[in-house]
Amino acid sequence: MRLYVVRHGIAVDRLSPSVTSDAERWLTEEGKTKTLAVAEGLEALGVKVDVILTSPLVRARQTAEILTEVLEPTGGLVETGALEPGFSMTELCEVLMAQGPPESAMIVGHEPDLSELISTLVWGDDRGEVEMKKAGCALLEIDALPPSEAGVTLRWLIPPKVLMRLIR
């Protein structure tokens, strides 16, 4: 399975007076614009996904909606608590397996969880030096669900600036 891992786009600051909870932070206009460009960059790379899974937090959901518009996954967009901050790999695997499991899936979530997920799957612990930029994307190839350390390959980790340049 190809698993695309995407961090949500640029959101309003958590200290903004208009924000009452972290869960409701939304994408800024810049965040929406950059996320759209990232989605178009992924499309230019030929990325195709069966399903996009997203955290229910507003900023992740908005990011996933933009990605869904551009990439048009056959299985659509699925909101899941399995991608809320502090999620477990076991719960995420259950949600992925309930989808088929898909040949290719995209997850949209939060830091530091996504970097820790990549590090744990690829190197066996969460101390790896993976840095997911906002709206950045990584591609993991996973031999089986649940994944084992030996059956996961990090194919690429692309920051948003590079993805945005693909459409210019």
Q: What is the pTM of this model?
A: 0.95
Whose CA is closest to 161, among 41, 63, 11? 41
What are the pLDDT digits (tens) for 38-84? 999 999 999 999 999 999 999 999 999 999 999 999 999 999 999 99
CA distance 72 to 53: 13
What are the pLDDT digits (tens) for 102-123? 899 999 999 999 999 999 888 8
Helical H segments across 6-159, by residue range: 29-44, 58-71, 89-98, 113-123
Domains of the chain: 2-165 (3.40.50.1240)
